[in-house]
Amino acid sequence: MRKKIVAGNWKMNKTLHEGIELAKTINRQVEENEVIVVLCPPFIHLSGVAGIITKDSLFAGGQNCASEASGAYTGEVSAEMIRSAGADYVIIGHSERRTYFNESDEIVNKKVKLALANELTPIFCCGEVLAERQAGKHIQIVKSQVEKGLFDLSPEDFGRIVIAYEPVWAIGTGVTATAEQAQEMHKMIRDHIAEKYGNTVASNTSILYGGSCKPSNARELFLNSDVDGGLIGGASLSASDFMGIVNAILDK
Ligand code: PGA
């Protein structure tokens, strides 16, 4: 059975003190049930956030990792360091990384492998920009990102991947994909995984939706059969909004 997951991507927000307070509040409010909740704070907060977690269903994650294992890469943070800080997850290939930091599919693929080698669960992000959707190329773009980022993994390694479909035009814009648009893309991704790795691997892969997900629209998105949770940006910065989204998936 695939897991229901709600992950909060804090991006470059919150001071250390604010981040620890937010994590403490969420740790208090998370209930021990089948929903996995992941907090992805900035690196500098990671060990502090991981250290306050007491709930079995709550985990810490990085927002990125280096594409090299170690060495003279000033300012970079390796998958091994992220693991050693107490994280279990790491977001890889977020569209902001792809756009502002020129992360190619090849770089993203290297990061996925380093994450897996260090026992981190990659939350692999994919998604099209508005012009690509308007040109009718969204399916092709996302298929290609998934293939180039993930399809050289062994079936066993692929079984450890979480995918987040995040249409770039919906990220931070207040415009959400409709439930139909999300379901169409999630089903396409799952079918594509099935062609490559078979039905069992495909049906066990959690595919999250991301892009202006809020307590008010989360339930409708999550009720789709191929939407297994969310990767939440803006709404993860407020404990009440984030917990509203976490609780929305319990209705599934
Ligand atoms: P958003 O961000 O919820 O603020 O749209 C989602 C993400 O980038 O993961």
Give residue for tokens 């693929």. 109
Ligand 1 cavity residues, CB under 6 Å = 9, 166, 171-172, 210-213, 231-235
CATH for 4-251 is 3.20.20.70
**Which ligand 1 atom minimizes the distance to the CA of 231?**
9
The DSSP bridge partners found for residue 8 are: 39, 232
State the distance from the centre of ligand 1 to the C-alpha of 200, rounded, in angstroms: 29
Separation CA 165–CA 210 (nearest Å): 6
State the distance from the centre of ligand 1 to the C-alpha of 224, rounded, in angstroms: 19
Range list of H helices, 102-137: 105-117, 130-134
**Which ligand 1 atom minimizes the distance to the CA of 171?**
5
pLDDT tens digits, one per residue of 40-62: 999 999 999 999 999 999 999 99
Is residue 250 within 8 Å of 25, Cβ to Cβ? Answer: no
Is residue 194 within 8 Å of 182, Cβ to Cβ? Answer: no
For atom 3 of ligand 1, the residue with the nearest CA is 233
pLDDT tens digits, one per residue of 86-101: 999 999 999 999 999 9
- Give 10-residue mean pLDDT values along the chain (252 residues): 96 98 98 96 98 98 98 98 98 98 98 98 98 97 98 98 97 93 98 98 98 96 97 98 96 84
For atom 9 of ligand 1, the residue with the nearest CA is 233
Query: What single DSSP character describes residue 85?
Result: T
State the distance from the centre of ligand 1 to the C-alpha of 212, rounded, in angstroms: 6
Whole-number Cα distances in Å, 147 to 64, 95, 109, 143: 20, 16, 10, 6
Is residue 156 within 8 Å of 218, Cβ to Cβ? Answer: no
In one-letter notation, the amino acid at residue 23 is A
For atom 6 of ligand 1, the residue with the nearest CA is 233
- Count other C-beta atoms under 10 Å from residue 18's C-beta: 14
Is residue 27 within 8 Å of 53, Cβ to Cβ? Answer: yes
Separation CA 108–CA 149 (nearest Å): 6
